[in-house]
Amino acid sequence: MVDPATVVHPDVDNSPAGARWVGLEVTAVDHSPFAAQEQVLVDGIGSDGNTLTTLAMFKGFSHEIGAFAECTWAGSIDPDKSYTMCPAFLLPTGVTLKSVGAKVGGAEIGEATAVDQAVWMVP
């Protein structure tokens, strides 16, 4: 975890004053039979009790940071090979990240009924 994370492309960082990006470096293995068929989605809980996602709303559109300077992103996603992704959360002023959850799978992980398969507490 990197707090604060440095945005690689500052032109997409229209975050509100006082807010900051908190980045995660996540390494996973794609166990699907075809490249990039498996997904990893992360969510978080802030110290204010609100759910955080890697999508932030800027000017009416959602935006995923996708990369931050401190992450060693490895972008090739191939079956049975490990890869690294760099999701990040936009935290409001005064809020800290308390926990991170992860869902792994195919399209079903985007469904409203999908639940986190693993949760990590942030000290």
Give tens-digit pLDDT for 51-109. Answer: 888 776 544 555 555 567 888 766 667 777 777 888 888 888 899 999 998 887 776 77
Task: Output the pLDDT for position 45.
Answer: 93
E strand residue ranges, the chain: 20-23, 26-29, 39-46, 51-53, 55-58, 61-64, 82-85, 88-91, 97-105, 118-121
Residue 103 near residue 117 (C-beta atoms within 8 A): yes
Task: Output the pLDDT for position 65.
Answer: 59
**Is residue 114 a part of any domain in this protein?**
no
Task: Output the pLDDT for position 49.
Answer: 95
- CB-facing half-sphere around the CA of 58: CA atoms within 13 A: 15
Residue range of the domain that includes 84: 10-40+49-95
pTM for the whole thing?
Answer: 0.74
What does DSSP assign to residue 9? S
**Is residue 25 a part of any domain in this protein?**
yes
Task: Output the pLDDT for position 103.
Answer: 81
SS3 93: coil
**Is residue 28 a part of any domain in this protein?**
yes
What is the spatial distance between Cα 106 and Cα 110, in angstroms, rounded to a whole number? 8
Total domains in the fold of the chain: 1
What is the spatial distance between Cα 106 and Cα 109, in angstroms, rounded to a whole number? 6
Range with the poorest average pLDDT among 7-11, 45-49, 50-54: 7-11
What is the spatial distance between Cα 87 and Cα 85, in angstroms, rounded to a whole number? 6
What is the spatial distance between Cα 1 and Cα 65, in angstroms, rounded to a whole number? 15
What is the spatial distance between Cα 40 and Cα 30, in angstroms, rounded to a whole number? 9
| Mean pLDDT estimate for the chain | 77
Task: Output the pLDDT for position 7.
Answer: 74
**Is residue 63 a part of any domain in this protein?**
yes
Whether the pLDDT of residue 30 is over 90: the answer is: no
